Amino acid sequence: MHEFESPLKPETAEILGIKQETPNIKTFKVRFIDKKRQKKFFFIPGKFMMVSIFGFGEMPISISSSPYKTDSLELTVNAVGNISRAMHRLKKNDIIGLRGPFGKGYPLQTLRKKNIVFFSGGCGFASLRSAVLAANAKKQMFGKLFVFHGCKSPQELLFEKDIKKWPSHGIETFVSVDNPSPQWKGYSGYITDVIDKAEIPVENTAVLLCGPEPMVNIALKKFRKKGFSNGQMFASLERLMHCGIGKCGHCNIAGKYVCVQGPVFSGKELEKMDWGEI
C-alpha cells in the first residue's frame, strides 16, 4: 500500500531549505503543499521517494531524515546526472514533485533489544542516517549502536554535525577517509579495514549496510569472517528505478524488483541473488 492515492502521480512539495553537505551533495528539506498529505506521511528508514524535477525527469532518492520528524522530510542528493544536477540548481521555495515512499526498508521493528551496526560508504550514508536517527530517538528499545562511515576525503564527509554529536549519545562512531588531509585525525584507508579493528559483539547484533556495491560485498565477507551469519545482515542495493512499483522491470535482479522487494535485502536473500559480487 502506497501513501498516495495514485502511486504514479507526483504530489507537489516546496523546498524549505537547502544545506550544502559536500562540494557535490546537498540536503533538501521539503514539505508537501497539501498539509493533510504531510500530516499523514510516514516512512520506514531505507525506503525511497521518486523525485520529479519538472522539465527534466524523475529519480529515486532515499529519505535521510528521521521518520519521527513529521513536519517535513529531507532528501540528500548527489549531483551525478542531469536530473540531480537540475535539482542542485533549485532554490528555496521552488516546487518539486514527490511519489512514495516505496520499497522495503530496514527491519528496525524486528531488531528491538539488539545491538545494531550501521555501515555505510559515500552517499549511502543518506539512507542509513535515517535509520540511525530513528534508533537513537528510541534508543531505550535497542542495545548498543555502532556507526561506520567511509568516504574519499574529509571534504566529502556527510552529516558531520551528526557524527560529532552521536558519541555523546552513546553511539560508537568510526569514520575513515581514503585520502586524508594533514589535519585529519580519524581513521585512514578503506572503512572495510576498520571492521577488523573494531570490537563488535557478534551475539544479538544486526548489521545494516548501504553504499557502493563493491564496498558492501567486502564488508559482508568481513562480517561473516568475524562470525556474523547472513541472517544478521541487511544491505540496501543501489539501482536506477523508474516506476517504483515493480512494473517497468528496470531494477530487476535475479527475478526480484529492487523497488518493491528491496532496496533492503537480507544476507540470506543476497546469497541467492546475482547482484554484482566481486
Domains and CATH numbers, the chain: 11-102 (2.40.30.10), 108-271 (3.40.50.80)
Instruction: Decide the pairing of beta strands 57-62 and 172-177.
Output: unpaired
pLDDT of residue 1: 42
| pLDDT band with cut points at 50, 70 and 90 for residue 273 | confident
Tracing cell 537547502 back to the chain, one arrives at 18
pLDDT of res. 192: 96
pTM over 0.75: yes
Nearest partner of 264 among 193, 205, 216, judged by Cα: 216
What are 136-186's pLDDT values in tens digits?
Answer: 999 999 999 999 999 999 999 999 999 999 999 999 999 999 999 989 988
Pairwise CA distance, residues 51 & 30, whole Å: 11
pLDDT at 254: 65
Mean pLDDT to the nearest integer, 183-212: 94
Q: What is the pLDDT of residue 256?
A: 72
Higher pLDDT: 63 or 248? It is: 63
- List 115's β-bridge partners, or say none: 205
